[in-house]
A and B are shown apart, each in its own frame.
Chain A
Amino acid sequence: MQHLDDALIAEWVDGAIAEDSPRHGAIAAHVDQCDECRIRVEEERALAGHVRQLLGVATPPDHTPPFEEVLYRAGSAPKRAPVRSIPVGWRRLAVAATVVVAGGVGWYARGLVMGRSAVPAGAAVTADAVGATETTGATGTTGAAGATSERDVPASPPLESTAGKRLEVATAEAAGRGAAAAEEQAAAERDDVRREAAAERQVVDEIVAARRDAAPPAAPAVAAPSPMAQAVAPAENELRMQKAAAEPWGTATRLTAERALGRSLLLVPDLRVVSIEMTADSGLVRVRQDLGGGAVLELVQSRATDGAALGLAAEVIVADAEPRARMARAPEAVETIVVSGIRVVVHAPLTADSLRVLIGKLGT
């Protein structure tokens, strides 16, 4: 038998020659007898091992998500709502998101931003209480409303002012167009803005009402969604959140989550991401970020729909680790930011300065 060529040696080393084939026996016999071919076989085998070792360096973490994720993706490709003929820039602005920061944000602002003097005493966070948060409903809330039941919570003038600004934007854009069609468009946009403002006001009013009506907390861990969670979820979003409360959360990759949301995740870039989870049916995404000290920031986000009057697209819940009686009694504040075209209204029991610093950290 002639010496083995490179192709045959590679096939031999890679086990690509069937053991029950005549070639296998012939090659085995030749390699036994031919020193030159045997050396080449050993070299090729060593080379293959070395390459495996090299490529082994470039290997991602071993993680196989459940097959159900594939089924979920197969059955729920993102559906886009009909796009109305609204200018892109304005449409992006109109995709509004409301972010509610419930409880514990004072601690967050103190620890990360403002320094101890900015936060009332007694706002330390305990790991046990965070664990309790982990076991609550799908929204992960712990009923911050209880802590604020005695607060003098103001109404929502900041929302009115932001709506006013948006009206100004809409009007300015309409003026630029000049044409009758554009004027008609602007009128529709103004209606949208008014509806959004009304809906936002409703959100805040419901939050305020829930906080005023909420009974003092009996236990830190609450199985059902808190009054806060219910209050911030009006109309369709409420239904979605309630539905999600009964669904299991499954681990998801960032990209899977972003695909489901149709946009980038809303998160605080400075904080380590602890987990990203999704519900199978409701398409909600929950991101948990480590605040340090055993506290976790949860961001429950849903898909924002183009042209929606109010996309209640995000809810931020700080793990409420503090017994209600010791919660900081900061006044309510509302601030608005635009993150990647999504208007985010942050509502929190903070001073305006603290809240501004917090939302300054929110991003995608």
Chain B
Amino acid sequence: MATDWAEVYRVTFPDLVRFLYRKVWEADRAEDLAQEAFVRALPHDPENPRAFVFTVAANLARDEARTAIRRRKHLELVKAEPVTQTESPAEGLERREEERAVQAALAQLSERDREVLLLWDAGLDYDEIAAQTGLARSAIGTTLSRARRRLVEAHRELGGRTGGRADGPDGKDGRGNDAALG
């Protein structure tokens, strides 16, 4: 049965954009890459369309990184106001600062840990993450656990404030603070 790409697009696009955004850190570019990933996926009929399109997108993002410097210069030229503005300047500033802290914390992770973490947050399951990254399925849990811990530690060291409870009672990390979430 041929892949219903319209349906895959509908349910996957937001996750894909989120995944890509944390790689390129430009909303328009992330959206553009996500669409491009679907354009390239359209002719295919993969067994797991969602995982397939993430693979394509990850490759595109890698290529994107190679030309990022050149494009950054271009974007400075075309920079304009966002299409919509729903937050106050103060809110916008705070949000951008928080985002920069998260971006910096993510940059502290190894490429593999970061990739696994972002795929996990994008909603891929362990099998899909393993297929995407080439890691053994049994290694995903360990990698994810380590990546999560390192991200929180790095964010705390960088002075990030999101969550407000990055320092646990033991002063090491935020684990245990949000036990109520469980």
Contact = CB atoms under 8 A, between A and B. Distances in A.
A353 interface: no
B46 interface: no
Interface in A6-25: 6-11, 14, 16
Contacts of A336: none
B78 interface: yes
Interface string A12-44: 001010000000000000000000000001111
Contact of A276 (B25, B29, B42, B83): B83
Contacts of B139: 7
A60 interface: yes
A258 interface: yes
B63 interface: no
B79 A58 contact: no
B145 A9 contact: yes
A53, A57, A61 — most chain B CB neighbours (10 Å)? A57
Contact of A11 (B14, B141, B178): B141
B182 A41 contact: yes
B14 A256 contact: no
B96 to A, nearest CB: 10
B182 A60 contact: no
B182 A42 contact: yes
Given A14-B144, A47-B174, A47-B175, A256 B32 contact: yes
Contact of B142 (A6, A70, A256): A6
Contacts of B79: 269
A46 B175 contact: yes
Contact of A273 (B6, B81, B95, B99): B81
B175 A54 contact: no
Interface in B82-127: 82-85, 95, 98-99, 101-103, 105-106, 117-118, 120-121, 125-126
A51 B150 CA distance: 10
Interface residues of A, number: 58
Contacts of B74: 264
* Chain B interface SS verdict (over half): helix
A270 to B, nearest CB: 9
Contacts of A50: 148, 152, 163, 165-166, 174-175, 177-178
B126 to A, nearest CB: 4
Contacts, number: 180
B32 A10 contact: no
B59 interface: no
Nearest to B182: A45
B35 A73 contact: yes
A11, A256, A258 — most chain B CB neighbours (10 Å)? A11
A113 B27 CA distance: 32
A264 B31 contact: no
Interface string B147-175: 01101100100001011011000000111
Nearest to A274: B83
Interface residues of B, number: 73
Contact of A48 (B38, B148, B160, B163): B148
Interface string B39-74: 100100000000000000000000000000000001
A32 to B, nearest CB: 14
A10 B182 contact: no
Contacts of A134: none
Given A41-B182, A43-B175, A54 B160 contact: yes
Contact of A57 (B27, B32, B95, B140): B95
Nearest to A56: B162
A123 B3 CA distance: 57
A356 interface: no
Given A10-B145, A67-B9, A73-B36, A255 B29 contact: yes
Contacts of B174: 46-47, 50
Interface in A49-104: 49-55, 57-65, 67, 69-71, 73-74
B175 A14 contact: no
Contacts of A5: 142
A243 interface: no
Contacts of A48: 148
A47 B35 CA distance: 32
B78 A265 contact: yes
Interface in A315-364: 340, 363-364
Contacts of B149: 47
Contacts of A274: 83
B179 interface: yes
22 contacts: A7-B138, A7-B145, A9-B141, A10-B145, A11-B126, A11-B140, A16-B140, A43-B179, A46-B176, A50-B166, A50-B174, A50-B178, A51-B152, A55-B117, A58-B25, A61-B27, A61-B84, A64-B10, A256-B32, A269-B79, A272-B81, A273-B82
Q: Nearest 8 CB-CB pairs, A to B?
A: A7-B141, A10-B141, A60-B27, A46-B178, A45-B182, A255-B32, A49-B181, A272-B81
